[in-house]
Amino acid sequence: MKRIGLYLFTQDCRVQDNDALYLLASSVDTLICLYCVAPQTRYDKQFSQTTASEAQKGYLKSTLQGLQNSLAQLGQTLNVEYGDRRGVIADYISRFEITHVASSIPVAYNESHMWQWLKSTFSHVNFQTANNSQIYYRTQLPFDLAELPKSFSSFRKFIERDAQCERTETIPQRPCFHLPPPPCLMQFKLPKYLINTQNNDYYGGEENAQKHLRGYFNSDAASGYKQTRNALHGNHFSTLFSPYLAHGALSPQQVLRALNEYENQHGSNESTYWIYFELLWREYFHWYSQLHQSALFKFTGITNTKPLTSFYPQRFAAWCNGNTPEPLINALINELNKTGWISNRGRQIIASYLVNELQVDWRYGAAYFEQRLIDYDVASNWGNWQYIAGVGADTKGGRHFNIQKQVRLYDPDGEYTRQWSPTKTQSTSRNLAEYTDMTGWPNEQSRSL
């Protein structure tokens, strides 16, 4: 009997250092490679549909074109479908008489449940997963997942002291030189959803990821990363690995290998360690998502604590449109809306502003980031928003950033704000009283939005 494989690309859009793809390719005679573009469905019905921005769709388009280029070099092609993932995958399994299905280990709630549904529905099919997006396997953690520390600091200490795989002992990359052919003539074609999109600021794909990785570590930026990581803009102030990691055009193991090589050649310091530190934050939130599942999207978070916030449509609309009383907030939102990316410090500032100054339900901000970020990662995004709102992995009960202090520290000469300021024709609200009536509730104009 001919073994026909189906590989489901998710957050692992690369051919190299892809263990799940490698293992499937060695088990089947023919292979179909599939990427499914579908609306993200949150557990909470209130956020059941999110619409991607043009910048986000443009970045995804370049990522998929890059993946197609990598597959074509090995005699394969990428099938891209737009629609309900569960239905599309089920159709492929039935139509092509698939015998083997493989994917990266699912991290998020919906993906995990879809995978379990596929396994129970198609019990005759061999399902395989491998770790393509995290540093560690569950068996390498120094604790059971149910005992995941409640704070990142505790997690980091456990990992650095007791993890079964040291950072300097990263698994060697397993190169992929061959893939089985598709079972029939197939042709790469993007769905209409993506055809006319473009991101002129950032480009995805495996080749671009490797080029960026080499360029970053060929510079001396890593040796000063801790001093620049909180900046809002600049040359090499950020590693900019996050978009590639989020789509899986780059693996965390590939970053660690490059980091280790850099340290061997140039020496290690607090800054090079901080790159690993940031990767550990990402790692923590991936395990956090797997443990807490649907609680990642709940108003009360994992702490069952109700924040003192509500939903004010006009305030939220002003925040989304960069039309608040604060020029720095407006500038950050404008960069996000145009390019799909802003600095880590910028994200914390505008998240704190939405939750603490505008007193808007944090989930609306998280859902908006889901629509806009080219490096959107379900675990990191919703985990970080819970952290800011005080309902997640923060023993201090949330983070409140003083906007004027942030301006003095990170944009003292106003250069960033001028670069990303609203157009002169865009009106800017002057105070929060404009958003509400005398009782503090949204005014009539607000309620009509």
Binding-site residue numbers for FAD are 225, 238-242, 375-377
Number of H helices, E strands in the chain: 19, 5
Which helix (DSSP H) or strand (DSSP E) does residue 347 occupy?
Answer: helix 344-352
CB-neighbour burial class of residue 429 (10 A; exposed 0-12, middle 13-18, buried 19+): middle
Candidates 388, 135, 415, 427; CA nearest to 284 is: 135
DSSP state of 135: S
Cα separation, 352 vs 359, in Å, equals 9
Q: C-alpha angle 212/215/221, rounded to 5°? A: 110
Query: Residue 391 to residues 110, 147, 368: CA-CA distances in angstroms?
Result: 21, 18, 18
Length of the chain: 449
Edge-to-edge strand ranges of the sheet holding 100-104: 78-82, 30-37, 4-9, 100-104, 126-130
CA distance 229 to 447: 40
Annotated binding site: 225, 238-242, 375-377
Q: What is the dihedral of CA 240, 242, 247, 253, to 10 degrees?
A: 100
What does residue 218 show for φ and ψ, rounded to 5 degrees?
-80, -10
- Which of 95, 83, 89 shows the shortest CA–CA distance to 121? 89
* 216: three-class secondary structure by DSSP: helix
Q: SS3 for 251?
A: coil
Question: What is the CA angle 66-218-282, rounded to 5?
Answer: 60
Tokens of 219: 């510079």
